[in-house]
Amino acid sequence: WRQVVWGRHLVLFGGQWGRESLADTWLLDTVLGGWRQVAESQPMPTGGRARATALVAGDVLLVCGGESPHPTEHGACVRWGDLWSLDLKAPSKLGWVRVHGGHATGCVLPTRTLEPSLALLHAGRTLLVFGGPEADPALVR
């Protein structure tokens, strides 16, 4: 799973349980105690995510990259090069939103990214995605 801080909450996203990659999101209130699952709404990041990276920008959770088990090839993984956002104040309103890449939108992401580093630049207007291990072509489809 990936964890980030949002105000007085610890936010957990995804992770892996055996061969299953998870796509659930949980909030821990660090003042009052207690966990709360964020309402699951579609679409969710495809296939769940293990080894993704997360960042909070204001009230928005950003999840980038990661991997999930390949649906038909045992032992292989699908590695993702996408970016998803979730409004933590109103997660049921829009649900997860896939931020599309490409030069036309000004959003260019590394492909098949595992555990990249994320940083916000220019007063939160620019997201820098960098690093992460290279994919093993034998395991990536």
CA distance 42 to 51: 21
Residue ranges in the chain modelled with pLDDT below 70: 1, 39-43, 100-113, 132-141
Beta strands per DSSP E along 30-76:
35-37, 53-57, 60-64, 67-69
- The predicted-structure confidence for 30-40, as pLDDT tens digits, reads as follows 999 999 998 66
Q: Are 41 and 96 in contact (CB under 8 A)?
A: yes
At residue 38, the pLDDT reads 87
At residue 9, the pLDDT reads 96
Q: Are 95 and 41 in contact (CB under 8 A)?
A: yes
Q: How far is CA 34 from CA 14, 24, 28, 29, 37, in A?
A: 19, 16, 6, 6, 10
At residue 48, the pLDDT reads 81
